Structure 1
Amino acid sequence: MAYIEFKNINKFYGDNHVLKGINLKIEKGQFVTLLGPSGCGKSTLLRSLAGLEAVTDGQIILDGEDITTKEPKDRNIGMVFQQYSLFPNMTVEENLAFGLKLKKLPQEEIHERISKAIKIVELEGKEKAYPSNLSGGQQQRVALARGIVMQPKVLLLDEPLSAIDAKLRKSLQLSIREIHDKLGLTTIFVTHDQDEAMVMSDVIHLFHDGVIEQSGTPVEVYTRPVTSFAASFIGNYNIFEADKIAKLTGTEWKTKVAIRPETIMMSKAPIANDDRFKMEGVIKEHIARGNVLRYTIDVGGIEVYADALFRSVSIFQDGEKVYLSIAEHNCVAI
């Protein structure tokens, strides 16, 4: 039996059908990411699990218990928000102790839990500091520690890194994953960032317009998108209608086809390989994307996107003729 189960969850805001019959199972100890664009329903499902939103109909099961109508305080679920929501007039230690005191735990246990949580998030020496004296990353670690210290059945993270700069964000991604692995805590993470989902997750559930479009491991959802939306949202695929992919490859196709830009081989000379689809085109433009150059290539009136590492030997100029080749196994029917 799954540790968490959503059974036919529907949620309406007036006439707006936000969650449309969601059925989802999560196993104990997994790091699960709900991924998707703004307004797709992922945060609403998370808040429904926490009890911060009432579902219109359906059931939510946690550890064998129906918690659909339970009060948030009775669910034993920890939650970390995008906003740190720390008490500004309390020290780090006092912020962590607040919820424990409400539970009327013995002082010795409170101290022990706080010390352990502080160590886990690597904030030793900051116990007496106030939030205003901490960096954004340190404040987010305090918020994370506050969720951990309550020893919840599930830890929910609702886009907790979106307000943090890119370099620190990458560091915190790894820290959160390491903390999860150390504690074995069932964790559900909400983000709209596909790279973040790929780095952190055991399982990704891709949301679109109130439904789960695709579920799988990061490798599965990246390499084998099942719909046009999945292909466009994860991996920035080329998506070709059947007639266009037929024109490009010289073979017949009955469905749309998705091709990842990085799987397209580029050369300044014809490519000698009988096992690949070969074509030639002209570079229309190129854009730097970190350590990758994204080329837009005109192949007989069809735009093809191809990625290459940002190296001098592989840089093509706009207007230059280029030869392309694509392996058939990289053409994913959707």
Structure 2
Amino acid sequence: MSYIKFENVVKKFGDNMVLKGIDLEIERGDFVTLLGPSGCGKSTLLRCLSGLEDVSGGRIFLDGRDITYTEPSKREIGMVFQQYSLFPNMNVFDNIAFGLRMKKTPQDEIAAKVRRAVEMVALEGRENAMPSELSGGQQQRVALARSIVTEPKVLLLDEPLSAIDAKLRKSLQKEIRRIQRDMGITTVFVTHDQDEAMVMSDVIHLFNAGRIEQSGTPIQMYTKPASTFAASFIGNYNILSNRAFSELTGVSYSDSNEVAVRPETVELSQDFAPVDGAYQFDGKIVDQTPRGNVLRYRILANGHEILSDTLFRSKALFANGDTVHITIMDRNCIRL
């Protein structure tokens, strides 16, 4: 039996239906990401789970209990928001201890639990610091510790890393995932960043206009997009109409309207060499963009634009205007 279950959940704001009958199940201990563009409904579903928003229809279950209309304080759910909302007049220790004190936890137990939470988020020695004395990353750690110290059944994270610089963000992604695994806590994470979702998740649910477009593991989501939207949102696929694909390859798929090809599977070479099971044609480099250790080429082939990602190796670089031979294996062509 699933640990969290949404049954036909609907949410309306006036005439605007933000959630359009969501059916979703989450297993105990999983790190689950709700991924999608702004306004797709992912944060609204999270707020419905926490009780901060009432549903307009449907039911929500947690550990076999119907919590659809349960007060937020009785759901045993911890939440970290994009804005950390720390109490500015409380130091780190008191911010973390706040929830325990609201539960009237004995003082010695509070001290022990806060100490463990501080160690878990690596803030030893900062217990007496005020929020104004902390960096953004440290404030995020305090907010995380405050949410986990009460040992909730579920931890909800609503884009908590979006305001943090790239280097620290990657570090905190690893820390959050480590803490989640160490505690075994069921976690639901909201983000619009596909890379973040791929790094952190056991399961991803891709949202589109109030519905779930596709669900799966990061590998499944990346390698087997189920729709044009999924292919365009995850993996930066080349998406070609069946007509465009036919004009490039001479092959037409009768069972699809579009064909998706990942940029890293588009191979480039200076010299033509036939390959079994491959489509091969020529193109011209029109642009190139460094992306870390990968160089992304934009290629014009028979009037159609193709993206190719190659490792950034100085001995195998092409210049704008170069003609290249393109090889795409049939097995890497996904019919949509």
TM-score category of the 2 structures, normalised to the smaller one: over 0.9
Amino acid in the other structure paired with 2:133: N
Is the 1:284–1:298 Cα contact (8 Å) retained in structure 2? yes
Aligned counterparts, 1:255-270, within 5 A: 255=256, 256-270=258-272
* Residue pairs, 1:51-130, within 5 angstroms: 51-130=51-130
Q: Does residue 1:291 correspond to 2:285, yes or no?
A: no
Q: Distance in 2 between matches of 1:149 and 1:73?
A: 15
C-alpha distance in 2 between matches for 1:271 and 1:229: 34
Counterparts of 1:126-275 in structure 2 under 5 Å?
A: 126-254=126-254, 255=256, 256-275=258-277
Alpha-carbon shift at residue 249 of structure 1 (Å) = 1.8
Which residue of the partner structure matches residue 325 of structure 2?
Answer: 323
Write the letter of the residue equivalent to 2:182: K
1:250 deviates by 1.7
1:289 Cα deviation from its structure 2 partner: 2.0
Between Structure 1 and Structure 2, how many residues are aligned? 334
Kindly indicate whether the alpha-carbon contact (under 8 Å) linking 1:271 and 1:325 is maintained by their aligned counterparts in 2: no
Query: TM-score with structure 1 length normalisation?
Result: 0.99
Q: Any idea what the Cα deviations from partners look like across 1:175-205, whole Å, max 9, x if unmatched?
A: 0000011000000000000000000000000
Counterpart residue identity of residue 235, structure 2: G
Distance 1:48 1:275 in 2: 49
Worse overlay, 251-260 or 136-145: 251-260
Give, as a single letter, the amino acid of the residue that structure 1 aligns with 2:287. Answer: E
How far 1:252 sits from its partner (Å)?
2.0
Supply the RMSD in Å over aligned alpha carbons: 0.8
Question: What is the identity percentage for the equivalent residue pairs of Structure 1 and Structure 2?
Answer: 61
CA contact (8 A) 1:243 1:253 kept: no
Write the deviation string for residues 35-65 of structure 1: whole angstroms up to 9, x where unpaired: 0000000000000000000010000000010
CA displacement at 1:243 relative to structure 2: 1.3
Secondary structure (helix, strand or coil) at the match of 1:6 reads strand
CA distance in structure 2 between the partners assigned to 1:140 and 1:4 by the alignment: 26
Q: Which whole-Å CA distance do the structure 2 matches of 1:182 and 1:41 have between them?
A: 30
In 2, Cα distance between the equivalents of 1:119 and 1:287? 42
Give the superposition deviation at 1:134. Answer: 1.1
- Find the residue that maps to 2:34 and give its secondary structure: strand
Q: Equivalent residue for 1:12?
A: 12
Rounded Cα–Cα distance in structure 1 between residues aligned with 2:214 and 2:229: 10
